[in-house]
Amino acid sequence: MAYRIIWITGASSGIGKALAELYAARGATVAVSARSADALQALAGAKANIYAYPLDITDADAVPDTVRRIEAELGPIDLAVQSAAMWSQMGVDEFDTAKIRRSMEVNYGGTINVVGALIGPMMQRRAGRIAIIASVAGYIGLPQSLAYGPTKAALISFAESLKPDLDRYNVAVTVVNPGFVETPMTAANDFEMPFILQPDDAARRIARGLDRGKFEIAFPWQLVSSLKALRNLPYSAFFGVTRRMIEKREEQKRASQEASQG
């Protein structure tokens, strides 16, 4: 499947940027969005077929304006990848209602703005694919994920609801559920991140899944299969595992405090 005109949000860094570089190297015309205009200009400056469209996806008016501009200037969008999001590590000790609301506003509300702006023109053309980057963190309620996890669970549910309806208009939906990827988003994490991947590796896996027209693209399989298995456990066993995750984190915190105190 060859995508000619591609729009990627969250393309100023991490997975979105790696995907933009991958598709530009394949010869596609790539529109890139995020709030950091300088980073987008640098990306666009390095490749003739990348075009910067700075955008805050929470701005409900700016999103459809940007879609209209991209389509007028570059052509109809074949593939849109909604990668923009924010992450906050949060357990009950850090409970912050404003941050939880903001996470929902960016990750879920922003995605609604992006999808809402795309479906009209795509349904009319009876063509196009919308890929929403969620996370394996959306499969289950994980410790430290009070602000982030619910946004990604909402996105998975949203994509599942959207797919059969949009199928009727020949518009495809993909949900991407990555495990850990080494990007600015994960740089400050103070917990273990098993099977962590590099952004270019994640981008290749996503592009392969999109080429195959998959609904779900999830990786790495080790994390995906264990979290999906956890999801199917009875709650008594499920909470046994997630409680152990909290205990392990507390032990790690104590050990690093003791080490820093000499």
Ligand X SMILES: NC(=O)c1ccc[n+]([C@@H]2O[C@H](COP(=O)([O-])OP(=O)(O)OC[C@H]3O[C@@H](n4cnc5c(N)ncnc54)[C@H](OP(=O)(O)O)[C@@H]3O)[C@@H](O)[C@H]2O)c1
Amino acid at 54: P
How far is residue 80's CA from residue 140's CA, in Å, rounded to a whole number? 26
Q: Which residue is nearest to ligand X (CB)?
A: 14
Q: Which is nearer to ligand X, 184 or 194 (CB)?
A: 184
CB of 245 to ligand X, least distance (A): 17
- Kindly state the smallest distance separating residue 11's Cβ from ligand X, in Å: 6
CA atoms in the 13 A half-sphere facing the CB of 7: 31
Task: State in Å, rounded, how far the first CA of the chain is from the last one.
Answer: 58
Nearer to ligand X, 89 or 169 (CB): 89
For residues 10 and 143, which CB has a smaller minimum distance to ligand X in the complex?
10
The one-letter code for the residue type at 88 is: S
| Minimum CB–partner distance for residue 116 and ligand X (Å) | 15
Residue 231: C-alpha distances to residues 15, 82, 168, 226 (Å): 26, 25, 30, 9
- Of 218, 197, 173, 211, which Cα lies nearest the Cα of 26? 211
Amino acid at 12: S
Q: How far is the CB of 36 from ligand X (least distance, A)?
A: 3
Binding stretches for ligand X (CB under 6 A):
9-16, 34-36, 39, 55-58, 83-87, 106, 110, 133, 135, 178, 180-181, 183-186
- Shortest CB 21 distance to ligand X, Å: 13
Enumerate the active-site residues. Answer: 148
d(CA 169, CA 86): 31
Q: For residue 181, which of 170, 194, 171 has the smallest C-alpha distance? A: 194
Q: Which two tokens stand for residue 216?
A: 């779900």
How far from chain centre, in Å, is Cα 6? Answer: 16
Q: Residue 98 corresponds to which tokens in the numbers above?
A: 């404003």
Taking the least distance from each CB to ligand X, the nearer of 127 and 230 is: 230
d(C-alpha 49, C-alpha 44), whole Å: 7
Q: Which is nearer to ligand X, 106 or 117 (CB)?
A: 106
Amino acid at 202: A
